[in-house]
Amino acid sequence: MPLEIVTVPCLRDNYAFVARDPETGATACIDVPEAAPILAALKARGWGLDDILITHHHPDHVDGVAELVAATGARVTGAAADAHRLPPLDHAVAPGDAVQVGSVAGKVLDVSGHTVGHVAFVFPGAAFTADSLMALGCGRLFEGSAAQMWDSLQRLAALPPETLICSGHEYTAANARFALTIEPGNPRLVERAEAVRAARDAGRPTVPSTLADELATNPFLRAHLPEIKAALGLDTASDAEAFAEIRARKDRF
């Protein structure tokens, strides 16, 4: 059975996720921007918390960990490579390692770029990507290179298209406006931008999305396409160079 996923809005525009194995009742929280909304989401459902999975070291993803551990006794899992700048870990993992939520087996994926050491947690049907692949966007390159982020996005793009992309922020409306500057004639993008606007006007989250929608509309996953390179004026550029140009334009947008 797939994980049951609850999207928990935190701070101004962050998302944490609670994932529960319906078979065993085991529960994990992915990232902890702040503890209170997560504790409220657990309480509303009568759930405990077994595990906390951390994607990367930024404060808006880890600041609530200590309080959530104190309240629930959950074990903390994060990247061994980043252990020196993460909250204390009970379980240090490396890319390729297995992670488990009850009977559901997942795996740790290296998605460096936004930070070096950023990991995603990939389960059947859902990938927790935080600030790597985002809805219609990707994270800014604070530590890694464009080539590194492009590689990371390729690993995520290879997942089954029905995979839910559970990313870390509600940035989708602004991302849609930018994406339309790259591909104004992409009908799937035009349609999605309209749906994003309607969802936000109604106060609904646009996260998670599906990988299939990202592959069809997210310019950062489409940098390898000849029509995108042509639109950028970079017909002969490598895929990573085209990606770098899109990322640079977004930084200035």
Other CB atoms closer than 10 Å to residue 33's CB: what's the count? Answer: 25
Nearer to Zn ion, 13 or 235 (CB): 13
Contact 127, 163 (CB under 8 A): yes
Does position 82 interact with Zn ion (CB under 5 A)? The reply is: no
Toward Fe ion, which CB reaches closer, 12 or 252? 12
Q: Which of 51, 131, 183, 213 binds Zn ion (CB under 5 A)?
A: 131
58 near Zn ion (CB under 5 A)? yes
Distance of CA 107 to the CA centre of its chain: 15
- Of 126, 95, 117, 114, whose CA–CA distance to 28 is shortest? 126
Contact 113, 139 (CB under 8 A): yes
The interface partner of residue 102, options being Zn ion, Fe ion, none and the CB cut-off 5 to 8 Å by kind, is: none
Please report whether residue 183 would count as binding Zn ion according to CB under 5 A: no
Chosen from Fe ion, Zn ion, none, partner binding at 245 (C-beta under 5 to 8 Å by type): none
Cα distances from 91 to residues 2, 51, 56, 165, in angstroms, run: 23, 10, 14, 24
The number of residues that bind Zn ion (CB under 5 A) is 2
* Residue closest to Zn ion, measured at CB: 58
Query: What is the bridge-based pairing of β-strands 126-130 and 14-20?
Result: unpaired
Half-sphere exposure of 107 (CA within 13 A, CB side): 9
User: Shortest Cβ distance from residue 243 to Zn ion (Å)?
Assistant: 19
Stretch that binds Zn ion, among 30-38, 98-106, 124-132, 158-166 (CB under 5 A): 124-132
Residues interacting with Fe ion, by CB under 5 A?
Answer: 60, 131, 168
Q: How far is the CB of 168 from Zn ion (least distance, A)?
A: 7
CB of residue 60 to Fe ion, shortest distance in Å: 5
Least separation, in Å, of the C-beta of 131 and Fe ion? 4
Residue 118 in the binding site for Zn ion (CB under 5 A): no
Q: Which residues of 137-172 are buried (b: 16+ CB within 10 A; e: fewer)?
A: bbbebeebebebbbbbbebbbebeeebbbbbbbbbb
Could you tell me how many helices (H) and strands (E) the chain has, helices first? 9, 14
Using the minimum distance from each CB to Zn ion, give the nearer residue, 63 or 214: 63
CB 156 → Zn ion: shortest distance, Å?
A: 16
d(CA 237, CA 210): 28
CB of 77 to Fe ion, least distance (A): 18
63 binds, among Zn ion, Fe ion, none (CB under 5 to 8 A by kind): none
Interaction of residue 169 with Zn ion, rule CB under 5 A: no
Whole-angstrom Cα distance, residue 140 to residue 118? Answer: 12
Select 63 or 131, whichever has its Cβ closest to Zn ion.
131
Provide, rounded to whole angstroms, the least separation between the CB of residue 113 and Fe ion: 13
Distance set, CA 34 to CA 16, 37, 41, 64, 108 (Å): 9, 7, 12, 4, 23
What residues make contact with Zn ion under the rule CB under 5 A?
58, 131
